[in-house]
Amino acid sequence: MKPEPRPGPSTIYLYELAWILPSIAIPVGMLVALTVTAFGAGIHLPGVGGRINPQAVAQTPPFNETGVVQTAPGRYEVRMTAQIWAFAPNEIRVPAGSRIRFRATSKDVVHGLYIPGADLNVMLLPGQIADAEARFDTPGEYAVICHEYCGIAHHTMAGKIIVEPRP
Amino acid sequence: MSALGRETFVPDPRLAGAFVTVSLVALFGGVVTGLLQALTLAGVHIPAHFLVQSYYHSLSLHGVLNALVWTTFFICGFGPFLASRALATPLHHGLGWATFWVMMAGLVLAAIPLVANAATVMFTFYPPLKAPWAFYVGLTLVVVGTWMVTLDLVLTWRRWRATHPDARTPLAAFMSLVTFAMWTIASAGLAAEMLFLLIPWSLGLVSGTDALLARTLFWFTGHPIVYFWLLPAYISWYTLVPRQAGGKLFSDPLARTSFILFLVLSTPLGFHHQYTDPGIHQGWKLVHAFLTFAVFFPSLLTFFNVTASLESGARARGGKGWVAWFGKLPWGDPSLAAQVLAMILFTFGGIGGLINASYNLNLVVHNTAWIPGHLHLTVGTAVTLSFMGITYWLVPWLCGRALWSRRLALAQVWLWFVSMAIFSNALHRLGVMGAPRRTMLNAAPYLQPSWKPLLALVGIGGALLFVSALLYFLNLLLTLVASRAPAPDLPAFAEAMSGADHAPIVLDRWRPWLALALVLIVIAYGPTLVRLALTTSLQSPGYRVW
C-alpha cells in the first residue's frame, strides 16, 4: 500500500499552533471555573489556625475541655482532639440544619478528620490547630473517619455525628 | 569520532543490567505484597505472619518497593543507558558503578528495618511516626545515588559537547538530562527533610520533630517525584515508540518545549498535596493550584505530539480515517502494545489528576481510596506498564536472547490493562463514596454495605494484576534460561518530521531554564518555608504505633 504523503514543516507548525492555543485555553478555563466555584460557593480550605505544643494539648485552651459548645442559634463549635486511636469527643449530637465549626488538633501522630457526607476533610497535625466548618442539613448518622494512617489500629479510629430531625 | 562510530556504538549493558535487575526484584516484592493488600480488602483472610506481619506492614513494603525502588532503580539504569546511546558516548565507568553500589548500600540499609516491620511508616514516612535511622539514611543514600547519575549524565554530555560544539543535543539525551536536572532540584526538599529533621531525630541528636515542616519539605519533592517516574516513560514514547509504531516523531521542537516546561514547572506546586493541611495560608495554596494547572500544559503537548506520531505510523501502515487508524498500529508488538495501552489509561489518570489538583474538588477526594486509584493509573500503569514494554526489548538485548514468547507478553500487557481498569475504577468509586485510603477497610467500624461489591472488585482486579505480573516475570525468566534465538537489535531512535533544526536554539541552553525554575520555586515556596523554619519548634517526640 502506498503511504500517504507526510505533512511538511509549515503544515506541522499550523497543527502545533492549532493544538497549543486550546491547550492553554483549557487549563485557564478550568482555573477560572474552579476559582469562581470556590469563592462563589464559599468553599474554604484550612488555613493558618495557630500553633500548639502537641505535648501540652490537654492543658491548652480550648482543648482542655473537649466537646460541643453552642455559639449561636444553629451554630456549634466542636473542640476536638485526636490521638491513637480515638477522637474526643467521639459522638456529637446536633439538630438538622446546624453549622459546626471544628477546632481540632492531634496529641501524637498525624491523623485526619473526614466526614464523607458533609465533605469535611482536614488533616490533624500535631503542633497545628485545624479550623474547618461544615453544614449538616440532612438528619442521620455521619461517620467521622481518621483518613491518615496512624498505626496498627488506624481503621478502628472513628466517631459519629448524629444529626437529629428538627421537632 | 567517525560517522560510523555513532552507528556502531553500544552502551555498557552490564551497568544498565544491574540497575534493571534490582528494579525487577523490587517489583516482584511489590506485586506480592500488593496481592495481599487487594485480597485483604476483598475480605479474604490472610493468616497473621504470612510473609508480612500486618496489613500496614505489607502496605509499607508495597509502596516503598513499587513506588520508590522499582521506579528509581529502573530509571537510573534506563535513563543513562539511553542518553549514552543517543550521544554515542560511554558513561563514566567508575562513577556509574560507584553510583550503583551507593544506591545498593542505601537500599539494603533501608530494607532491614522495613522487612523487620520496624519501619511500617508507609512510603511517605510522615513523622512523628518514627522509623529507625537506617531507614532514613538508606533512602537518603538512594537519593544521593540519583544525584551521582545526574553528575554522570552532565559529564558524559560535556564530553560529547567537546567534540560536537555546534550540534543539537540528541533528543533522548536531552530528555534524560532534563529529567535528572529536574529531579536534582526537586529532591532538595526531601534531602532537607532527611538531613535536618528525620536523621538527627532518629539518631537521638534532637528530641523532637514537626509534622507540618516535614510534610512541606516532603511534598516539595513528593509531587515532582511523579514526574521523575513519568518522564522516562515519556522519553520512550517520544524517542522510540514512534518508530516502533512504524512512523516518525511529529515534532522534535514541541517535544523539547514540553520537557523544558516540566523542568521549570514540576516543583513549585507541592501544596496541592497539602490543601487540607492546617498551617499553610490559603493564598499560597491557590498559587500552587494555578501552577499545577500550568503543568497540565506540557502534558497536553505530549498527548498531542505522541498521538500524532502514532498516527503517522498507523497511516504509513495503511490506517485511514479520523480514529480507525488506531487499529492499524502494530498491535502484535508487545513493547508497543504495552506503551499504547499505558497511554490510554494515563489519559484517565491525567483527568483524575486535574480533579485532585482542583482547589475545592480536592476536598471530596483527599486521602480517600480515589487517591490510590489515581496512583495506580499513573505510576502503576503509565509508568509501570511502559517500563514493562521497554523491558520487552531491553531485557532480551541485555541477556543476548530473544524474548521467550511474544504472545505471552501480549497476553500479559492486555491482562494488566483490563485488570487495572477494574481495580482502579473500583478504588476511584470507593473514594467518592467515602472510603479512606491506606485503611484496612474490611475491619473498619464504618464499613458500608455499598462498599462491599467494589472491594470485591479491588480484590479481583488485584489478583488479576498479580497473574499478569507473574506472566511477565515468567517470560523474562524463560528468556534468560530457555530462549535460544539471538536478541534482536536495539530499537533505533525515531526520526522527526519536524526535526531539532526547527527548534529555537534557546531550547538547548540550560542556564535560563534552570534559573527560571529556581526563581519560581523561591516565589512559590520561599515565604512559607522561611516562616515555618523561623517559627517552628521541634516539639513532637517519635511514635512507634504498629
pLDDT tens sequence across A109-122: 999 999 998 989 99
Q: Is the pLDDT of residue B2 over 70?
A: no
Cis peptide before B396 (omega within 30 of 0): no
Residue A1 distance to chain B (closest CA, Å) = 6
- Total count of domains within chain A: 2
CATH code, A143: 2.60.40.420
Banded model confidence at residue B378, pLDDT cuts 50, 70, 90: very high
Whether A49 maps to a domain, the answer reads: no
Query: What pLDDT digit, counting tens, does each position of A131-160 carry?
Result: 999 999 999 999 999 999 999 999 999 999
Q: Name the grid cell of B83.
A: 542518553
Q: Which residues lie closer than 8 Å to A22 by C-beta, 6 or more apart?
A: none
**Residue B17 pLDDT:** 97
A75 and A36 co-located in one domain: no
Residue B169 CA to residue B256 CA, distance in Å, equals 10
Contacts of A118 in chain B (CB under 8 A): none
A58 and A133 co-located in one domain: yes
Q: Nearest chain B Cα to A156, which residue? A: B444
Whether B542 maps to a domain, the answer reads: no
Q: Does A5 touch chain B (CB under 8 A)?
A: no
Whether B465 maps to a domain, the answer reads: yes
A58 and A30 co-located in one domain: no
**Top-confidence range, B59-63, B358-362, B481-485:** B59-63
Whether B100 maps to a domain, the answer reads: yes
Q: Is the pLDDT of residue B5 over 70?
A: no
A117 and A139 co-located in one domain: yes
Residue A76 distance to chain B (closest CA, Å) = 20
Whether B178 maps to a domain, the answer reads: yes
State the complex-level ipTM. 0.93
**CB pair distance less than 8 Å for A121 and B443:** no
**Residue A9 pLDDT:** 67
Instruction: Answer for the pair B122, B59: CB distance below 8 angstroms, yes or no.
Output: yes
Query: What pLDDT digit, counting tens, does each position of A33-67 carry?
Result: 888 888 887 788 899 989 999 999 999 999 999 99
Least confident of A89-98, B118-127, B369-378, B499-508: B499-508
Q: Is the pLDDT of residue A1 over 50?
A: no
Q: Is the pLDDT of residue B7 over 80?
A: no
Q: What is the mean pLDDT of residues B453-469?
A: 98
Specify burial of residue B212 (Cβ count, 10 A radius: 0-12, 13-18, 19+).
buried
A10 and A38 co-located in one domain: yes
Those of residues 68-87 in A touching chain B at CB distance below 8 A are: 84
A95 and A70 co-located in one domain: yes
Whether B135 maps to a domain, the answer reads: yes
Q: What are phi and psi of B377, to 5 degrees?
A: -75, -35
A39 and A79 co-located in one domain: no
**Residue B6 pLDDT:** 46
Whether B4 maps to a domain, the answer reads: no
Q: Nearest chain B Cα to A84, which residue? A: B545
Smallest Cβ–Cβ distance between B276 and the set A6, A46, A146 belongs to A46
Q: What are phi and psi of B2, to 5 degrees?
A: -75, 160
Q: What is the mean pLDDT of residues B78-82?
A: 97
Residue A1 CA to residue A24 CA, distance in Å, equals 38
Q: Name the grid cell of B416.
A: 494488566
Those of residues 36-55 in A touching chain B at CB distance below 8 A are: 37-38, 41, 43-49, 51, 53-55
A89 and A58 co-located in one domain: yes
Which residue range is the domain that position A88 belongs to?
Answer: 54-164
A120 and A160 co-located in one domain: yes
Banded model confidence at residue A4, pLDDT cuts 50, 70, 90: low
**Residue A38 pLDDT:** 80
Q: What is the mean pLDDT of residues B230-259?
A: 96
Q: What is the mean pLDDT of residues B537-541?
A: 95
Whether B395 maps to a domain, the answer reads: yes
Give the count of alpha carbons within 13 A of B29, CB side only.
Answer: 24
Whole-structure pTM value: 0.95
CATH code, B146: 1.20.210.10
- Total count of domains within chain B: 1
Which residue range is the domain that position B229 belongs to?
Answer: 11-535
**Residue B276 pLDDT:** 96
A37 and A114 co-located in one domain: no
Tell which wins on pLDDT, B46 or A157. A157
Instruction: Answer for the pair B283, B527: CB distance below 8 angstroms, yes or no.
Output: no
Residue A123 distance to chain B (closest CA, Å) = 5
**Residue B127 pLDDT:** 96
A36 and A58 co-located in one domain: no
Residue A73 distance to chain B (closest CA, Å) = 27
Whether B544 maps to a domain, the answer reads: no
A147 and A89 co-located in one domain: yes
**CB pair distance less than 8 Å for A117 and B536:** no
**Residue A39 pLDDT:** 82
Residue B296 CA to residue B347 CA, distance in Å, equals 12
Contacts of B212 in chain A (CB under 8 A): 125, 127-128
